[in-house]
């Protein structure tokens, strides 16, 4: 390689590095700006979610959300609410397996598992049976199961 070629190559490399540093500086500046902006937006979102949680909490205490659309049935009965965790707690309180609890209510054990996992919601007639099961104690639940067997 001649001296001219070496000098030209060195000059091109130097200019390319110089231009690269300028572009990198701009990118760093923009990147920092965007990161600060994203952090500010995350703080705003967190604050809004906190406000929403407080508002939902107040609304939840004042007026519980029914399981249906809130309308009354044809016979004027009020809509009933359903909670998967409450159902699991009720079954545990009675000391029943899913199969036994299903027999008590009149559904399969798989239905009980799906209700408790929140995958499926019970129908109105089944919801009435769940409400009736809340009146049972361990002894009365065992007696009702013995009757059905």
- The Cα–Cα gap between 27 and 39 comes to 18
* pLDDT band per the 50, 70, 90 thresholds, residue 1: confident
At 31-81, the pLDDT tens digits run: 999 999 999 999 999 999 999 988 877 765 544 444 444 444 445 456 678
**Domain boundary assignment for the chain:** 1-63, 84-148
User: Which tokens hold the place of 28?
Assistant: 């760093």
* pLDDT band per the 50, 70, 90 thresholds, residue 30: very high
pLDDT at 81: 80
Residue 142 CB neighbour total at 10 angstroms: 16
Question: What CATH class has 84-148?
Answer: mainly alpha
Q: What are phi and psi of 96, to 5 degrees?
A: -110, 150
Indicate the average pLDDT of the chain: 84
Q: Is 31 left (phi over 0), alpha (psi -120 to 50) or beta?
A: alpha
pLDDT at 67: 45
């Amino acid at each position: 390689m001649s001296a001219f070629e070496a000098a030209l190559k060195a000059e091109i490399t130097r200019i390319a590095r110089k231009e690269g540093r300028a572009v990198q500086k701009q990118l760093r500046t923009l990147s920092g700006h965007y990161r600060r902006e994203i952090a500010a937006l995350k703080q705003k979102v967190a604050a809004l979610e906190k406000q929403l949680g407080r508002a939902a909490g107040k609304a939840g205490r004042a007026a519980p959300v029914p399981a249906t659309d809130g309308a009354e049935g044809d016979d004027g009965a009020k809509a009933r609410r359903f909670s998967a965790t409450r159902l699991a707690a009720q079954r545990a309180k009675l000391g029943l397996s899913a199969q036994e609890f299903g027999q008590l209510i009149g559904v399969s054990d798989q239905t009980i598992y799906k209700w408790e996992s929140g995958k499926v919601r019970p129908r109105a007639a089944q919801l009435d049976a769940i409400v009736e099961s809340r009146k049972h104690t361990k002894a009365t639940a065992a007696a009702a199961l013995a009757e059905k067997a």
